[in-house]
Amino acid sequence: MKYQRILLKLSGEALMGSNAYGIDPQRIGEYAQEIKALHQQGVEIAIVIGGGNIFRGMAGSSQGVDRVQGDYMGMLATVMNGLALQSALENIDVPTRLQTALKIEAVAEPYIKRKAVRHLEKNRVVIFSAGTGNPFFTTDSAAVLRAIEINADVILKGTRVDGIYTEDPEKNKEAIKFDTLSFEEVLKRGLKVMDTTAFTLSQENKLPIIVFDMNTQGNLMKVVSGENVGTRVDL
């Protein structure tokens, strides 16, 4: 395997499958199988999931919910998604630990960097939830922060599209896909990979990002094996 320790970032919307909101049991089951296949190869796996399938803080604030309150609601949504993924993984005999940036001891461990690393070394999948524990920061920022803290080799951003394009390929069929990009090129072209805070943090810490289609079976394994899948952003 090209990468031994990875941080997999999944959007909350990815868990909806064909539903309008919530969690599609079939989709989360498929993701669990992809993760299990990788886990069986001895890869150390940490995961961050968004909460947009349940509640999105900024959208809530536009409807009269206080922004800070809305962001905390979004963090709790990521805990729910984390619990769902944990259950799906443990149903197929993958050992996991769910850690949260907010203290909810009844359902998950508090995030402690040393414990997280120890779990990874013991071949447990670690799911990080509740973002950074602070409002005004996205789960993209949480993913990059946790990846740096645990010394991950790479951030894998699983999406619905198979990489980064000149334009949104779902809106423009003529959009051209990039195989590789530098951080500078992404900024110069104004491409949307992650939010600016997360992207800058990744750039400053020389942490590569690979954007790929998580919904194509086998892609996760191919990416970690070093195959040319998706788009790699590096120095």
CATH of the domain at 122: 3.40.1160.10
pLDDT-derived band of residue 59, with 50, 70 and 90 as boundaries? Answer: low
Q: Where are the beta strands (DSSP E) in 19-132?
A: 44-49, 96-100, 109-110, 125-129
Average pLDDT over residues 106-119: 97
Best CA proximity match to 205, nearest among 159, 157, 147:
147
pLDDT at 137 over 80: yes
Q: What are phi and psi of 10, to 5 degrees?
A: -115, 140
Average pLDDT over residues 134-161: 96
Q: Which pTM does this prediction carry?
A: 0.94
Q: Is 174 left (phi over 0), alpha (psi -120 to 50) or beta?
A: alpha
pLDDT at 168 over 80: yes
Q: What angle do CA 37, 43, 49 make, to 5 degrees?
A: 75
Average pLDDT over residues 212-219: 95
Q: What is the pLDDT of residue 37?
A: 97
Best CA proximity match to 129, nearest among 12, 42, 23, 27:
12
Asked if 195 contacts 138 with a C-beta cutoff of 8 angstroms, the reply is: yes
pLDDT at 61 over 60: no
Q: Which long-range contacts (CB under 8 A, 24 or more apart) does 198-206 make?
A: 198/138, 198/140, 198/141, 198/143, 198/144, 199/140, 199/144, 201/141, 201/144, 201/145, 201/148, 202/144, 202/147, 202/155, 202/233, 203/235, 205/144, 205/148, 206/235
What is the C-alpha separation between 143 and 160, in angstroms, rounded?
A: 18
Q: What is the pLDDT of residue 21?
A: 87
pLDDT at 152 over 90: yes
pLDDT at 78 over 90: yes
Asked if 231 contacts 181 with a C-beta cutoff of 8 angstroms, the reply is: yes
Q: What is the pLDDT of residue 93?
A: 98
What is the C-alpha separation between 188 and 179, in angstroms, rounded?
A: 17
Q: What is the pLDDT of residue 170?
A: 81
pLDDT at 19 over 90: no
pLDDT at 71 over 90: yes
Average pLDDT over residues 66-84: 94
pLDDT at 85 over 70: yes
Average pLDDT over residues 25-30: 95
Q: How many domains does one find in the chain?
A: 1
Q: What is the pLDDT of residue 192?
A: 87
Of residues 58 and 152, more confidence is placed in: 152
Average pLDDT over residues 129-143: 96
Domain assignment of residue 78, given as a range? 5-234
Average pLDDT over residues 31-59: 91
Q: What is the pLDDT of residue 6?
A: 98
Kindly report which listed range (81-95, 139-153, 186-200) carries the lowest average pLDDT score. 186-200
